[in-house]
Amino acid sequence: MWSRSVSTAYLAQAAELAGNPGQLAAYNSQGHCVVLAGPGSGKTKTLVLKLARILAEDVQAPRGAACITYSHECARELNRRLEVLGLRETPNLFIGTVHGFCLRHLLMPYGRLADLPIQFPLSVASQRVRNRLIRQSGDRLFGPNHPYKEIDLGRHRRSVLNRNSVDWRSEEELAAWAEAYEAALRQEGLIDYDDMVIFGHRLIAEHDWVLPLVQAKFPVLAIDEYQDLGVALHCIVKRLVFEGGVRLFAVGDADQSIYGFTGADGSLLMELAAREDIEPVRLQMNYRSCAGIVSASEMALGEIRGYRANDPTRQATIEFVPRPGGLSDQAAHAVAQIIPAALASKPGRTLGDIAILYKDYRAGDVMTEAVAAGGFDYIRVDNSAPYRKVALTSWVEDCASWCAGGWRIGRPQLRGLIDRYLAFYRANLDDAQARREGQELTALLWRLRNDQQPARDFVASLRDGIVDRLLAAELVLADQKEQLDRMTEALAEGGVLAKLDITSLGGRDGSPDHLNLLTLHSAKGCEYDVVIMVGLDLGNLPWLNESPEKLRESRRLFYVGLTRARDEVHMLYSGYVEGRYGPMYRGRSPFLNELEQRMRAAGF
Ligand SMILES: Nc1ncnc2c1ncn2[C@@H]1O[C@H](COP(=O)(O)OP(=O)(O)OP(=O)(O)O)[C@@H](O)[C@H]1O
C-alpha cells in the first residue's frame, strides 16, 4: 500500500507544512484530531499527508486505514492526491465514499452473520429500478400527482435512524412511503444506496462483536468533508472511535455544509471537535485565493472568520455583471467576453482553469448550448450529463487517459488502474486469480494504446475484453453498469458524445483542454483560476421565500462557489428568472446586494 519509491513527493509536500503551525500540529497529532478550517486552507492536503505518515509509522500491514468522504467527486480527488504520495486503494486501504465503506467493509463481510433483514449476496438497485419503485409506492399510497417529494423521503430515511422513535412517525406520510418503498425493494431482493448506510449503522450500533473486527482491519479512520456526512456516519464514527478504539483524523468546514436537504448537518462536526478526547486544530491561511477573494467570501458569508491569503500581493478580479437578457444572455457573455479575456490575461492559462458554476441542470443546458456553439470543448457535471460519474465510469475514463498517452508519463499509474479494477470484485479473489485478472487487464490496455481512436471503439474493446465479464459476475454493480451503459449509448453513432475521441474521454475528469461546467454542489472541493457564477437572481439563488434555515444553506452554497476561485470571480445576473408563466422580475440575488454593499463599505 505504501510505496517507498515515490516518497520524495511525500517529503516535498510534508516540508511545505513547516511554515504553517496549524497544519504542523495536525500532522504531528498523536491521538484523535479534528481539523476545522475554511476553504483552500489545505485540509485535504493535511489529511492525505497525515494518513501517509500514520501508515508509514504507526500501522503495520496487513492492518490499514479507511479514508472516507461524501461524494464520488471528492473520493476521486482523494484517490488522486494519495496516488501522488504512493498510496493506492488495496484490501487494507479503503479510499472512497461512505456508501462504499458501508457496503464493502461492513455489510458484505458481516451483514449475513448479523442476520440483517436483507438478501445475500447483496444486489444493489439501479437508478432506473429505484426511481420506478419510489414512484409506484408513492402513487399507490397517495395517488398520482401527490405532493410528497422524493428528496424528503431520502432525508427522512437518512436522518431518523430509530424507526421506533416518535421522530420517525412525526412525518407520517414520509414514514409510510419509506416503509412501502423499502418493502418493494426487498421483494425484488435489492438494497439501495441509503440502505447501505442505514444497515451499516445498524450493524455497528447493535452488534458489539463487529467493532474489534473493524478495528483490527482499519485501526485508523480518516474523514474528509465531515460536515456533509450526516447523522448515520456520525454515529458509526463515534461508536468505532470512542467504543471500538479506532483512531480518528477528520477534517471539515461547517460553513461549507450544503447538503442539508440530504440530512447532513454541519453541527455534528462542531460537536465532535468540542469533545475533550479530541485535539481540535484550526487553520487560518488560505493558499488558494487572492486576498480580495478571501475578504469578499467572508463578507458573502456574513461572518468574520479571520482567514488570510497566503500571498497578499496577488491581485483579484471580482466583477458583478448585469446581463438583461436572462440566462442565455449570461451564457453568451461568458463565452464571447469573459472566457477569451481570461485566457488572454495569463500566459499558460487554459480552458481547464476556468469553470462556469450554476444552480441546476436546466441552467447547465443553457450553458452547454452556448459553450458548444462557441466551439469550446467542455466537461459537464450535473444531472443532465450523459452519464453519472460513478467509480466504474471514472475508472474507464482513467483507462482512456492512460491509453491516450498517459502511459508515457505514468499518469494515471497502471498499478493504480489495476488495483481499482480488482477492487470492483466484491467476491474475494485469491492471489492467483487477482494476478491473472491484473495480467489480462495490463495486456488489454497495452493493446489499446492509441490516441487516435474514437472513444466508442475504446470503450467497446474494454467492455468486450474484460469489463462485461466483471459486470456479469457482480450484481452488486448494477447501478454502475447502468451508468456504463449510458456512457456507451452516448458514445454510439447518433449519441450526444458520438464525436468524442479517446483523448477527450480521458480528459472528462479534468483536463487542460476542457472548460468545466458544473453545479455549485459538484464544485465542492475543486479549485479554478477563474470562476463564472451564473443565475445569481432572486428566485434561483436563493429561491423565493426560503425558510431561514434554507436561506443559510443557499448562502453557504454561494460561499462555496466564490471560494473555488484562485484569481477571478465573475457574478452574472439578469434581475429576473424564468417562471412557469413567464419572467418574474424580483431583482438580482440579495447575496449580491449585500456583498457589493459590504465591499464598498470596506473600500474595495
Ligand atoms: N502548506 C501549504 N503550502 C503550500 N500550498 C498549500 C499548503 N497547504 C495547502 N496548499 C495548497 O492550497 C490549495 C488548497 O488546498 P486543499 O485543497 O487541501 O484545501 P481544502 O482546505 O481542502 O479546501 P476546500 O475546503 O476549499 O476544498 C491546494 O492547491 C494545496 O496544494
Residue 5 banded pLDDT, cuts 50, 70, 90: very low
Q: pLDDT value at position 486?
A: 95
Strands 33-37, 247-252: pairing is parallel
User: Ligand 1 pocket, 139 CB below 6 A?
Assistant: no
Task: Report the range of poorest mean pLDDT among 65-69, 140-144, 375-379, 467-471.
Answer: 375-379
User: Ligand 1 pocket, 525 CB below 6 A?
Assistant: yes
pLDDT at 501 over 60: yes
Comma-separated ranges of CATH 3.40.50.300 domains in the chain: 8-96+204-283, 291-385+511-602
Residue 222 banded pLDDT, cuts 50, 70, 90: very high
- The residues near 394 (Cβ < 8 Å, ≥ 6 apart) are 72, 76, 509
Cα separation, 239 vs 243, in Å, equals 5
Residue 510 banded pLDDT, cuts 50, 70, 90: low
Q: pLDDT value at position 425?
A: 86
Cell of residue 77, nine digits: 480527488
pLDDT at 381 over 90: no
Tell me how crowded residue 269 is: count the other CB atoms within 10 A of its CB. Answer: 25
* Residues 437-448, mean pLDDT to the nearest whole number: 96
Ligand 1 centroid to residue 509 C-alpha, Å: 20
Q: Which ligand 1 atom is the nearest neighbour of the CA of 45?
A: 18
pLDDT at 83 over 60: yes
Q: pLDDT value at position 6?
A: 46
Q: pLDDT value at position 183?
A: 97
Ligand 1 atom 18 nearest Cα: 42
CA dist 592 → 103, 320, 555, 577 (Å): 43, 8, 10, 15
Q: Say whether pTM exceeds 0.90.
A: no
Average pLDDT, rounded, for the chain: 92
Domain 291-385+511-602 has CATH 3.30.1490.20: no
CA dist 143 → 137, 138, 140, 147, 174 (Å): 9, 7, 6, 10, 14
User: Ligand 1 pocket, 44 CB below 6 A?
Assistant: yes
pLDDT at 155 over 80: yes
Maximum Cα–Cα distance for the chain, whole Å?
A: 69
Ligand 1 atom 10 nearest Cα: 42
Ligand 1 centroid to residue 505 C-alpha, Å: 27
Q: Which ligand 1 atom is the nearest neighbour of the CA of 286?
A: 12
Ligand 1 atom 3 nearest Cα: 16
Ligand 1 centroid to residue 191 C-alpha, Å: 37
Ligand 1 centroid to residue 63 C-alpha, Å: 29
Cell of residue 397, nine digits: 475514463
User: Ligand 1 pocket, 504 CB below 6 A?
Assistant: no
Q: pLDDT value at position 148?
A: 93
User: Ligand 1 pocket, 303 CB below 6 A?
Assistant: no
Residue 508 banded pLDDT, cuts 50, 70, 90: low
Ligand 1 atom 5 nearest Cα: 287
Ligand 1 centroid to residue 313 C-alpha, Å: 18
Cα separation, 353 vs 365, in Å, equals 21
* Residues 500-524, mean pLDDT to the nearest whole number: 84
Q: Where are the alpha helices (DSSP H) in 357-454?
A: 361-373, 391-403, 414-424, 431-447
User: Ligand 1 pocket, 253 CB below 6 A?
Assistant: yes
Location of C-alpha cell 423565493? 544
Q: What are phi and psi of 35, to 5 degrees?
A: -100, 120
Strands 93-97, 65-69: pairing is parallel
Ligand 1 atom 9 nearest Cα: 42
Tell me how crowded residue 203 is: count the other CB atoms within 10 A of its CB. Answer: 21
Cell of residue 9, nine digits: 513527493
pLDDT at 117 over 90: yes
Annotated binding site: 37-44
User: Ligand 1 pocket, 43 CB below 6 A?
Assistant: yes
pLDDT at 419 over 90: no
* Residues 519-524, mean pLDDT to the nearest whole number: 91
pLDDT digits (tens, 9 = 90+) for 31-72: 999 999 999 999 999 999 999 999 989 998 889 999 999 888
User: What single-letter amino acid sits at 63?
Assistant: R
* Residues 352-364, mean pLDDT to the nearest whole number: 96
pLDDT at 373 over 90: yes
Ligand 1 centroid to residue 400 C-alpha, Å: 28
Q: pLDDT value at position 413?
A: 87
Q: Which ligand 1 atom is the nearest neighbour of the CA of 225?
A: 25
Ligand 1 centroid to residue 109 C-alpha, Å: 36
Cell of residue 122, nine digits: 447483496
Cell of residue 571, nine digits: 457574478
Q: How many residues does the chain have?
A: 604
User: Ligand 1 pocket, 20 CB below 6 A?
Assistant: yes
* Residues 246-264, mean pLDDT to the nearest whole number: 92
Location of C-alpha cell 422580475? 585
Pairwise pLDDT comparison (504 vs 396), residue with the higher score: 396
* Residues 211-220, mean pLDDT to the nearest whole number: 97
Grouping H, G, I as helix, E, B as strand and the rest as coil, residue 518 is: strand
CA nearest to 247, candidates 521, 11, 50, 449: 50
Cα separation, 76 vs 369, in Å, equals 28
Q: Where are the alpha helices (DSSP H) in 463-533?
A: 468-473, 478-491, 502-506
pLDDT at 307 over 90: yes
Q: pLDDT value at position 4?
A: 46
Residue 509 banded pLDDT, cuts 50, 70, 90: low
Ligand 1 centroid to residue 214 C-alpha, Å: 31
pLDDT at 116 over 60: yes
CA nearest to 572, candidates 544, 600, 597, 540: 540
User: What single-letter amino acid sits at 443?
Assistant: A
CATH superfamily of 8-96+204-283: P-loop containing nucleotide triphosphate hydrolases (3.40.50.300)
Q: Which ligand 1 atom is the nearest neighbour of the CA of 287?
A: 12
Ligand 1 centroid to residue 285 C-alpha, Å: 9
